[in-house]
Structures are given as structure tokens and as C-alpha cells.
């Protein structure tokens, strides 16, 4: 059996040349939130690491003061992964920067080796040029193949795309492969969207320096219960999450005192037995800001896990802190990609429909 607590999350970041993969990696290393992230890349020179962040450099490995590691692939992919898995303490996540023409699906297969758990395939796309690249007779098939394999598409450089072209681009990407899409500029994406394999805890408020209108905001939602659920209910829940959910993870306690680990990234859904010792159900999700998302998640819990329809009214059950006064197991919070000068409204009231 596997556990989200004991395996190392394995994430592949792909995308054609110039889309913003390196910018995204730099963002992860600088905003690691205390997590030990190991990055595998072909060339150290592509990562602009601040000198005061480097703790040591030995051969093909750079250790950072925040606990992260950058490892060169000069000695081969297999050996690099083996070295990282044998580190003490081991990294909590391994992120592979694929080359611009790499087969991301093939690289992702390494996430199924013992000790690792495939966390997802993230493909970064340039909003301004992706359609032209996909139509190019030389690189088009490579670009389309990467998009089709993606669990999550980070649609970067949205500030360069005319507003009237956004809807058409989203529709076109949906026809390519149907992956979840996160729109952004300068690859500013919450860590919890890119990496989801860090155990179950409340997702923190995220603030980004990006301020363009196209940059999305996110909301987070969580659920906890001591109730034991039917296995069929857990399966139904995992298959019924709203489209706006980008990430979801957690544990569902089912009959027979068994614990199932849920891991969702984009369209990839995994529900497997877990060896974790948690004795309750705990779930968290993050999704695009949508006035219906929170109610939709409440409805999924009510119909799949609790086993009854949600109430038609939604007001009056939630305190200012986002905890449902009638159902304290449900907590709703807001994530923001506003600039630091635009702080999150701490007094916002949310509604619980469970």
C-alpha cells in the first residue's frame, strides 16, 4: 500500500522553448513554503539562483539554504533520481524540468517507480504564440503532444494576449486535450497548484506580484469528518468534483477501518489504499475563483459522502472566519493572486450549503 505521507511526489514540468518553464521553477525555489523540493534540470545555467541562497555546490548538485536542491542530469536520469531518493532527509517533491521538445509522457513514467508517486504533468504554454506553434509544420506535433499529455496547463504571458482573444484560446485548448487551465503572467502560480503531494493541511493564502486582469484568483475548501464512509461513496466523490477544481487531496476513511488517499491534479484522479495512520476523513481542494465552486463542492460532499441533498438556501450558516457554524467540519477560505498592496478581505463572509 502507498501513502501520500511516505512517497515522494514526482512532477514533470514541460512546454515548448520560451514558454516560461524556468521562470516557474525559479518561483517554486523562492517560494517553497518550507518544503524540500529537488529540481532536476539539464543545465544549472538556466536557473538564476541568488548567491545568498546557495549553501553549497558539489559536482552535479547545488544545495540551497531553504532546503531545496538543484541536481544536474549530466550523470543520467536514473542515477539522478536514485541519488535524490537516497538523500537524508529525502526531498518531499522531485520536479523535472523537461526540455522544450521532450516526451513528457515518457518522463512521467519514472513517477511510478518504488518510493515515488506521480503528482502530475504540468505543461507551460505561451498564450500569445501557442496556437501558431501548434500549427507550425516543424514543431506543431511536439507542441500538441505536450498539451494532450498535460494534467494541468499553465497558460503563461496572458498580459500579451488581447482580451478579445482569451475565450477563443480557452476553447481551442479545451479541444486539444481537455486539461485544466491556469491563466497567469510571469509564471506566478500558487505552489499548491503546481505541487500537491505535501500531506493534508489547510492551503495558505497566496499573494502574487502579478496584477494583470487575466491572472486568476483561487479559493480553497476543506472538509473533515470522523464518520466512516462507504467505499462506493468515496469513489463517487472522486469522480464528481467540479471542473473548476484544479487540485484536491486528502484521505477518506471507509468501512473496514481502511484509509483511502485521494490525489487530484487537473484531470488526473487517484484513489488508493493508504498506510497513513490518520483516523478521520480530511479533504482539501483548490480551484479557480467561481461563485458556484464552493456550493458545488458542498453539494458533492452532501450527495456523495453525507448522502443527502444540500439545502436550497445558503445564507446564515457561516461565521466571519469561514467556519460553518452549523457544520464546523467545513472550512472555506479564499486564495488571492492580488498584489501585496491588495490584501485579502479578512472580514469576507462565506456560505455553507451542507
pLDDT at residue 44, rounded to an integer = 54
Q: What is the mean pLDDT of residues 179-196?
A: 86
Query: Residue 318 above 90 pLDDT?
Result: no
- Percentage of the chain lying above the pLDDT 90 cut: 16
Q: What is the mean pLDDT of residues 115-124?
A: 91
Q: What is the mean pLDDT of residues 251-264?
A: 87
In the chain, CATH 3.30.1220.10 covers 218-335
pTM: 0.68
pLDDT tens sequence across 23-78: 898 888 888 888 889 888 765 555 555 555 566 566 667 777 777 888 877 667 88
pLDDT band at 158 (very low <50, low <70, confident <90, very high): very high
pLDDT tens sequence across 70-118: 887 766 788 888 888 888 888 999 999 888 888 899 999 998 888 898 8
Q: Distance between CA 3 and CA 251 in Å, rounded?
A: 10
The sign of the CA dihedral 182, 187, 190, 191 is positive
pLDDT at residue 344, rounded to an integer = 33
Instruction: List all residues 6 or more positions away from 22 whose beta carbon is below 8 Å from its beta carbon.
Output: 46, 47, 97
CA 273 to chain centre: 21
- Percentage of the chain lying above the pLDDT 70 cut: 72
Tell me if 298 sits within 8 A of 167, measured CB to CB.
no
Query: Residue 148 above 90 pLDDT?
Result: yes
pLDDT at residue 248, rounded to an integer = 86
DSSP single-letter state for residue 205? P
CA 66 to chain centre: 21
CA 72 to chain centre: 24
Q: What is the mean pLDDT of residues 6-26?
A: 89
Collapsed DSSP state (helix, strand, coil) of residue 69: strand
In the chain, CATH 3.40.50.300 covers 8-194
Beta strands in 255-322 (DSSP E): 258-265, 268-274, 281-288
Collapsed DSSP state (helix, strand, coil) of residue 272: strand
The sign of the CA dihedral 134, 135, 136, 142 is positive
What superfamily would CATH give domain 8-194? P-loop containing nucleotide triphosphate hydrolases (3.40.50.300)
Q: What is the dihedral of CA 22, 24, 27, 33, to 10 degrees?
A: -130
pLDDT at residue 49, rounded to an integer = 59
Q: Where are the alpha helices (DSSP H) in the chain?
A: 21-30, 77-85, 104-108, 130-135, 140-149, 166-176, 191-194, 231-239, 293-300
The correct answer on CATH 3.30.1220.10 for the domain covering 218-335 is yes
Kindly report which listed range (46-55, 92-101, 228-237, 254-263) carries the lowest average pLDDT score. Answer: 46-55
Q: Distance between CA 296 and CA 228 in Å, rounded?
A: 22
Query: Residue 145 above 90 pLDDT?
Result: yes
Q: Which of 74-78, 183-187, 189-193 has the highest mean pLDDT?
A: 183-187
Radius of gyration (C-alpha) of the chain in whole angstroms: 20
DSSP single-letter state for residue 303? I
pLDDT at residue 204, rounded to an integer = 33
Q: What is the mean pLDDT of residues 125-150?
A: 93
* Residue 287 vs residues 52, 59, 179, 274, 296: alpha-carbon distances, Å: 34, 40, 14, 25, 11
pLDDT at residue 245, rounded to an integer = 85
pLDDT at residue 212, rounded to an integer = 37
Q: What is the mean pLDDT of residues 132-154?
A: 93
Tell me if 247 sits within 8 A of 264, measured CB to CB.
yes
Query: Residue 333 above 50 pLDDT?
Result: no
Q: Distance between CA 224 and CA 226 in Å, rounded?
A: 7
pLDDT band at 202 (very low <50, low <70, confident <90, very high): very low
pLDDT at residue 59, rounded to an integer = 62
CB-side neighbour CA atoms (13 Å) of 197: 25
Q: What is the mean pLDDT of the chain?
A: 75
Q: What is the mean pLDDT of residues 170-197?
A: 85
Q: What is the mean pLDDT of residues 158-168?
A: 90
Query: Using a CB cutoff of 8 Å and minimum separation of 24, what contacts does 308-311 make?
Result: 310/353, 310/354, 311/353, 311/354
Instruction: List all residues 6 or more positions away from 8 whose beta carbon is below 8 Å from its beta carbon.
Output: 84, 85, 90, 91, 92, 93, 94, 115, 116, 117, 197
Query: Residue 294 above 80 pLDDT?
Result: no
More confident residue, 239 or 219: 239
Query: Residue 131 above 90 pLDDT?
Result: yes
Q: What is the mean pLDDT of residues 190-219?
A: 52
* Residue 277 vs residues 2, 9, 43, 114, 196: alpha-carbon distances, Å: 12, 19, 40, 20, 19
Query: Residue 217 above 90 pLDDT?
Result: no
Amino acid at each position: 500500500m502507498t501513502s501520500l505521507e511516505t512517497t515522494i511526489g514526482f512532477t514533470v514540468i514541460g512546454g515548448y522553448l520560451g514558454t516560461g518553464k524556468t521562470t516557474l521553477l525559479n518561483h517554486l525555489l523562492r517560494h517553497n513554503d518550507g518544503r524540500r523540493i529537488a529540481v532536476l534540470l539539464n543545465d544549472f545555467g538556466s536557473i538564476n539562483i541568488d548567491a545568498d541562497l546557495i549553501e553549497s555546490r558539489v559536482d552535479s548538485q547545488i544545495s540551497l539554504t531553504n532546503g531545496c536542491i538543484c541536481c544536474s542530469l549530466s550523470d543520467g536520469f536514473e542515477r539522478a533520481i536514485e541519488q535524490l531518493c537516497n538523500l537524508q532527509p529525502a526531498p518531499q517533491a522531485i520536479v523535472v524540468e523537461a526540455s522544450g521538445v521532450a516526451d513528457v509522457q515518457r518522463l512521467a513514467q519514472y513517477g511510478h517507480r518504488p518510493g515515488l508517486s506521480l503528482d502530475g504533468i504540468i505543461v507551460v504554454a505561451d498564450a500569445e504564440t501557442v496556437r501558431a506553434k501548434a500549427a507550425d509544420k516543424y514543431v506543431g506535433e511536439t507542441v500538441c503532444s505536450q498539451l494532450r499529455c498535460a494534467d494541468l496547463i499553465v497558460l503563461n504571458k496572458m498580459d500579451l494576449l488581447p482580451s478579445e482573444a482569451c475565450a477563443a484560446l480557452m476553447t481551442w485548448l479545451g479541444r486539444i486535450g481537455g486539461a485544466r487551465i491556469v491563466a497567469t503572467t510571469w509564471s506566478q502560480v500558487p505552489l499548491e497548484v503546481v505541487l500537491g503531494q505535501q500531506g493534508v493541511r489547510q492551503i495558505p493564502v497566496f499573494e502574487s506580484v502579478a496584477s494583470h486582469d487575466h491572472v486568476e484568483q483561487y479559493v480553497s475548501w476543506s472538509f473533515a469528518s470522523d464518520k466512516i464512509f462507504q467505499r462506493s461513496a468515496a469513489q463517487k466523490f472522486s469522480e464528481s468534483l467540479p471542473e473548476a477544481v484544479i487540485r484536491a487531496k486528502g484521505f477518506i476513511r471507509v468501512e473496514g477501518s481502511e484509509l483511502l488517499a485521494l490525489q487530484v491534479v487537473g484531470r488526473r484522479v487517484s484513489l488508493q489504499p493508504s498506510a497513513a495512520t490518520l483516523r478521520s476523513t480530511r479533504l482539501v481542494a483548490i480551484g479557480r475563483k467561481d461563485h458556484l465552486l464552493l456550493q458545488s463542492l458542498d453539494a458533492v460532499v452532501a450527495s456523495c459522502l453525507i448522502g443527502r441533498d444540500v439545502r436550497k438556501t445558503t445564507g446564515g450558516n457561516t461565521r466571519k472566519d469561514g467556519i460553518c457554524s452549523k457544520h464546523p467540519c467545513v472550512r472555506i477560505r479564499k486564495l488571492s493572486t492580488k498584489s501585496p498592496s491588495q490584501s485579502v478581505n479578512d472580514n469576507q463572509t462565506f456560505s455553507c450549503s451542507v
